[in-house]
Amino acid sequence: MIHRAAVFIDNGYLSKVVPNGIRVDFERFCATVYGDRERLRTYFYDCMPYQSEPPTEDERIRYGNYCKFREIVENLPRFQMRFGKLSKSRDGSFEQKRVDILMAVELVRLSWSHQIGHAIIVSGDSDFVPAIEAAKDAGVITTLYYSKKSVHNELLSAVDERYEMSQSFFESVRRN
């Protein structure tokens, strides 16, 4: 049996559910969620900030700050960032595109190539359910870390194990 785990973090979701004022220490976060398993890698899915053409001063600042954040995350041991696209709608709101698909493809690929025996997923979106079912068919144990603020019941039902990321959980992985 393969004891190696991979962590799949949808940063759009995580950013939405982290309590105000808490900045996550991603190394501590991963050490908490993968426990005593060997971690193959943490896959961190996100989108670069939107920039119009030409970018506004605010967009340039936001992009520059994100590049600093990206460098920090990419330099963490066994972390790999994957990027979707950020789309701006006519009403001015933004929506991530391709993030769920990137996560799903990676989960299925690692599961069926027997590189992992355990998948730890940080998401709340039911779009991920078919990939979870495919991973389970490959013999992978699936664990969901979620917030009660935002999680689809179908996703909760699809995984083998589930853990709520409560206020105390976030306090335990807070960056100093």
For the stretch 55-80, pLDDT in tens is 999 999 999 999 999 999 999 999 99
Domain tally, the chain: 1
Note the residue count of the chain: 176
Which pLDDT tens digit goes with each residue over 79-110? 999 999 988 888 888 888 899 999 999 999 99
Beta-carbon count within 10 A of 111 CB: 25
Task: Record the tokens describing residue 72, joined without a space.
Answer: 């920090």
User: What are the CA-CA distances from residue 7 to residues 40, 59, 91, 107 (Å)?
Assistant: 8, 30, 34, 9
CATH of the domain at 74: 3.40.50.1010
Q: With cut-offs at 50, 70 and 90, classify the pLDDT of residue 1.
A: low
pLDDT at 53: 87
Domain coverage including residue 10: 4-172
- pTM as predicted: 0.93
User: What is the percent of the chain where pLDDT is above 70?
Assistant: 99
